[in-house]
Chains A and B, each alone.
Chain A
């Protein structure tokens, strides 16, 4: 266990009658006074190459995050800047891209699966299993009820038109490919992405 105490708290603790030297031996230590030159803020950060996912220029970005990368720790993104090696953007970001870190850390990011029941005016948090099982059941029930093997003239069509899917052109090619593979093989045709608008 580590306990973080500031210098002020540390001296207060000392004044309460416990010898500070023995506290230090017990694992209590004040954060250093930092009278020295401030460390470059990206020191010890993990640098990750990425691309801005706003417009279609595809500017290179470098993402800086903290965390030691070990199991059960969370990396935390705290800074994003342009990648100077990128042949198009050469380290630049525009006013949209300059705010990328605020997008990643936005207070309106979603964190948990939720369900809004018919007629309700609020969300209810659910588990992933509950959410996914519910969706899989909905898909199967509607597909079984409305899948068309042959049209009215007897032609084989094998399509399903009563459920639709919009895919994300902000997502990766890999997400797009696997989505297409699933959606088409269910027989879905009402399928588009932002390229349609």
Chain B
């Protein structure tokens, strides 16, 4: 979330799309109802299903799954052609005025630089601003230049007229007109719309670009950095934000730093590429400090072994021979028998990853599998026969499985980071059952054993293992307090200011990332968490819920990264002169008396930067402004374009009917066998989408009796019309099949699903809740990933669970 849960109450309009917070985040949704009741806000809900969020919405519309870019692209077209944009914001806080290189182009669904054989963009050089002789981007503040970002964007979305949108999305014209006109009203400076989304946007082969399109809408309306505005990812797990922040992804390091590619052999070049310098004169471009954060990380991990002479152990970090070693890639290799061992720490891939059959076959080819979990997961028993729910022959599976019992939240101390970036500390209430142990201790015990083996026997490249800084009181069981202080960071020697005054004694905890240095004098395991545990104590454990400005901003409750800021880009809540855009939206503003930025939040900006200097509010970007034009940062193009899901219920991409290369995401990665396993729309005519229920959380709560009682049995949702077509009534059993497998479930026949008119035919949707399996205390059911295809978002490789095709039959 750029904003936070309570801030939703400040919105004038709420767009819920690609998410269903009333059911998936019910307590967070209370702030939506608060806005409706006490801020005269309106709620728009767009979804393939009529959800409980839709049930309380002022405007609701069905949309065909996977067509969100079309709807939002049409909205961009509408806002520009009707001139409903926050013009001053767009001019000063976005890249609208910057010129793009002359050789940039887009033709019939494909951007310049495409290699059809490799299905990827080999040459992205044209996806760049045109630079002047001074090395800075050229700009035209009149927004008239044909190659300025604004004009290119206008032209790109001119194809997304209302009839095209209606026909692709399956949404009647009058619904679209009404919703767009409500959103257009938010272009005035003192009104804001917030956008709430979740997995309904991420789990698509075009997911990242859907979210980008939404962010572009928010920039046009001047809603980023505003209270009651922003683009808010409602994340799926309690600490998925924290684990992302800590970089537990194949290509990342903590704090959104990244591992080097194999081609980056030189430490200086590695840093230079990431320490982005300003592209417009005088901008902050805060990533220019990258080396300070990187060296501090290396000091946390390797202590005295990390020195200037050895480039702070740069060579010890693994280098990537391909962009991602994501889970789809790993299971592809596992399926080929190329993986020896696999660890699942609180993760249930047999249920969570696409094409369950492929997952079972992959796990069966491992030498060993280690599962650490509080619960008896399906993954840990993938080898055990559960009849029709897990029809395997144990004797044929040669994988050794080692299962370790872990404690759960009620039994350990530590912090979790919610969707609003708040790190909240919690305490153990009891010991775990039996011999269960915390994950921290299991990892400590394992590491000590591995290090002992390397000390005794030697082995492959032992340097990082033997030299890692592991100075914990009990090496086998590092405490949460020790670890939290390590990621916060501390001074390794006395730190002095420019005048030689000591500002931080050796050994003291850092108060923030601004104290970090690139010369090895500071250590910090995750620079964006610096400030969470300072000399003043554990900031994450704070419990002051006062709200002095009445904006819902409780700066004394827990601690938010970065620097306890609650609302990202909040400098943009003031106009270029530093005055609030509107009295009722005053949040952070410039005080000429004090010569600093003041207000209800920690300014997300250099606190003494006079507005007269004209520095842009998006301080992490080299231009200081928000991006309509993504440059080279996305794999499939600088402007989002609609491509059909890899399994689509229609024969072509209506925007590019004659270009098969542009039917699906042209830069999407799909392995050969997985492509062969895709179904055809003639054989599998029904669009399917997976989702979650109010009463269940993923595959966990089927282990909890209360939840198992209130929602005991697997079902799928279908419309009355589809039920009639396949000859079933509510309560009958249906078989739902894809080209990869099938499940059986009770049919819930409901008006909450409706056939949508796409082009010249009706497309039916099937809603498939995910929560059942063969372990737990609820009734057994089928893992629904028997159906899902192995293809991911082209940028993140998040599987396309929200759009695929099936066939529904009477069972």
Q: Which residues of A contact B (CB under 8 A)?
A: 46, 48-60, 63-65, 67, 74-77, 80, 85-89, 92-100, 102-104, 106-121, 123, 128, 131-140, 142-144, 146-147, 149, 151, 155-182, 184-197
> Does B412 belong to the interface (CB within 8 Å)?
yes
A-B contact sample (7 more), CB < 8 A, given A96-B707, A172-B239: A57-B5, A75-B431, A111-B435, A137-B453, A172-B440, A173-B417, A195-B243
> A112 to B405, Cβ gap below 8 A?
yes
In the bound complex, CA of A102 to CA of B338 (Å): 40
- Let me know if B344 is at the binding interface, CB within 8 A: yes
List residues of chain B with CB within 8 A of the CB of A55.
Answer: 24-25, 28, 234-238, 697
Q: Which listed residue, A56, A59, A135, touches B402 by the CB 8 Å rule?
A: A135
| Partner of A118 from B25, B372, B400 at Cβ < 8 Å | B400
Binds A, one of B43-51, B132-140, B317-325: B317-325
Q: List residues 657-700 of chain B with CB under 8 A from any CB of chain A.
A: 694-697, 700
- B321's partner among A118, A139, A157 (CB-CB below 8 A) is A157
- Closest chain B residue to A67, Cβ basis: B430
Name the residue on B nearest A133 (C-beta): B449
Closest Cβ of chain B to A46, distance in Å, is: 7
**Distance of B480 from chain A, by nearest CB (Å):** 4
Closest-by-CB residue of A relative to B415 is A173
B636 within 8 A of A: no
Chain A residue numbers with a CB within 8 Å of B325 are 161, 164, 189-191
A-B contact pairs, 21 of them (CB 8 A): A48-B427, A53-B237, A58-B424, A65-B429, A75-B430, A77-B429, A93-B27, A98-B706, A102-B704, A104-B411, A111-B405, A128-B435, A138-B368, A155-B319, A164-B343, A168-B243, A172-B414, A175-B440, A188-B318, A195-B244, A197-B327
Contact A86 to B545, CB < 8 A, known contacts A55-B697, A95-B707, A179-B443 = yes
Q: Are B346 and A170 closer than 8 Å at their CB atoms?
A: yes
Q: Check A132 against B242 for contact (C-beta < 8 Å).
A: no
* Most interface-central of A169, A172, A185 (chain B CB within 10 A): A172
Shortest Cβ gap from B558 to chain A (Å): 8
Min CB–CB distance A176 → chain B (angstroms): 5
Contact B340 A163 (CB under 8 A): yes
Nearest CB to that of A97 among chain B residues? B27
Q: Is the CB of B459 within 8 A of A110?
A: no
Q: How far is the CA of A174 from the CA of B263 in the complex (A)?
A: 32
Judge whether B349 and A51 touch: CB under 8 Å: no
Q: Is B238 in contact with A53, judged by CB distance below 8 angstroms?
A: yes
Residue of A nearest to B408 (CB): A104
Chain B residues positioned under 8 Å from A57 (CB to CB) = 5, 25, 27-28, 418-419
Whether the pair A162, B338 counts as a contact (CB closer than 8 A) is yes
Q: Which residue from B375, B450, B552 sits with its C-beta under 8 Å from A139?
A: B450
B746 surroundings in chain A (CB, below 8 A): none
Distance in Å: Cβ of B794 to nearest Cβ of chain A = 14
Residues in B neighbouring A51, C-beta threshold 8 A:
238, 409, 416, 418, 424, 426
Tell me whether A102 and B435 are in contact in the complex, defined as CB-CB below 8 angstroms, given that A87-B6, A155-B262, A195-B240 are known contacts. no
Out of A96, A155, A162, A187, which one reaches B695, CB within 8 Å? Answer: A96
A65 to chain B, nearest CB (A): 5
A179 to B410: give the CA distance in the assembly, Å: 20
Beta-carbon contacts under 8 Å, B304-359 to A:
315-321, 325-327, 329-330, 333-334, 338-347, 349, 352-353
- Distance between Cα atoms of A193 and B326 in the complex (Å): 10
Bound form: Cα–Cα A80–B429 in Å: 10
Q: How far is the CA of A52 from the CA of B240 in the complex (A)?
A: 13
CA distance A52 to B460 in the complex (A): 42
Distance to closest chain B CB from A8 (angstroms) = 31
Q: Which residues in B have their C-beta under 8 angstroms from that of A74?
A: 430-431
Q: How far is the CB of B649 from chain A (nearest CB, A)?
A: 23
Residue of chain B at shortest CB distance from A143:
B460
Number of A-B contacts (CB under 8 A): 484
Closest B residue to A47 using CB positions: B429
- Please give, as numbers and ranges, the residues of chain A lying within 8 Å of B259 by CB-CB distance: 189
| Alpha-carbon separation in the docked complex, A136 to B263 (Å) | 32
Alpha-carbon distance between A80 and B375 when the two chains are bound, in angstroms: 19
Q: In the complex, what distance in Å separates the CA atom of A142 from the CA atom of B414?
A: 32
* Nearest 3 CB-CB pairings of A with B: A111-B434, A168-B346, A58-B418
A177 touches B450 (CB 8 A): no
Total chain B interface residues with beta-carbon distance under 8 A: 168
B249 touches A191 (CB 8 A): yes
The binding surface of chain A is classed by DSSP as mixed
Chain A residue with Cβ nearest B445: A132
With A102-B706, A104-B410, A190-B250 in contact, is A197–B339 under 8 Å at CB? Answer: no
Q: A157 to B237: give the CA distance in the assembly, Å.
A: 33
Evaluate contact between A171 and B547: CB separation under 8 angstroms: no
Q: Is the CB of B27 within 8 A of A114?
A: no
Checking B242, B249, B429 against A75 with a beta-carbon cut-off of 8 angstroms, the contacting residue is B429
Name the A residues within 8 Å of B404 (CB-CB). Answer: 110, 113, 128, 131
Nearest CB in chain A: distance from B438 CB, A = 7
Docked complex: B710-748 residues within 8 A CB-CB of A: 710
CA distance A87 to B542 in the complex (A): 12
CA distance A134 to B706 in the complex (A): 38
Are B405 and A109 in contact (CB-based, < 8 A)? yes
Residues 456 to 479 of chain B near chain A (Cβ within 8 Å): 457, 459-461, 464-465, 468, 478
- Chain B residues lying within 8 Å of A56, measured Cβ to Cβ, are 25, 234-238, 240-241, 418-419
Contact between chains at A186 and B465 (CB < 8 Å): yes
A36 → chain B closest CB, angstroms:
29
Tell me which residues across on chain A come within 8 A of B543, comparing CB atoms: 49, 85
Q: Which B residues touch A171, using CB under 8 A?
A: 239, 243, 345-346, 406, 439
B464 x A88 contact (CB < 8 A): no
B276 contacts chain A at the CB level, 8 A cutoff: no
B526 within 8 A of A: yes
B486-503 vs A, Cβ < 8 Å mask (1 yes, 0 no) = 110000000000000000
Given contacts A88-B27, A163-B340, A190-B339, whether A168 and B249 have CB atoms under 8 Å apart is: no
Considering only CB atoms, which chain B residue lies closest to A74 in the complex? B431
B438 touches A175 (CB 8 A): yes
Contact B347 A167 (CB under 8 A): yes
Which residues does chain B contribute within 8 Å of A196, judged by CB atoms? Answer: 249, 326-327, 796-798
A166 and B239 within 8 A (CB):
no
Chain B nearest CB from A1 CB (Å) reads: 24
Q: With A53-B409, A142-B341, A181-B525 as given contacts, are A176 and B453 in contact (CB-CB < 8 Å)?
A: no
Q: Which of A52, A160, A167, A178 contacts B440 (CB 8 A)?
A: A178
| CA A36 to CA B369, docked complex, whole Å | 57
Check B238 against A169 for contact (C-beta < 8 Å).
yes
Q: Which residues of A contact B368 (CB under 8 A)?
A: 135, 138
| A107-B376 Cα distance, complex, nearest whole Å | 10
Q: How far is the CA of A117 from the CA of B368 in the complex (A)?
A: 10
Complex interface bits, B6-26 against A, C-beta within 8 A gives 1, otherwise 0? 100000000000000000111
Which chain A residue lies CB-closest to B552? A87
Stretch at the interface among B95-103, B156-164, B390-398, B598-606: B390-398
Contacts A88-B27, A162-B338, A185-B464 given; does A111 touch B525 at CB 8 Å: no
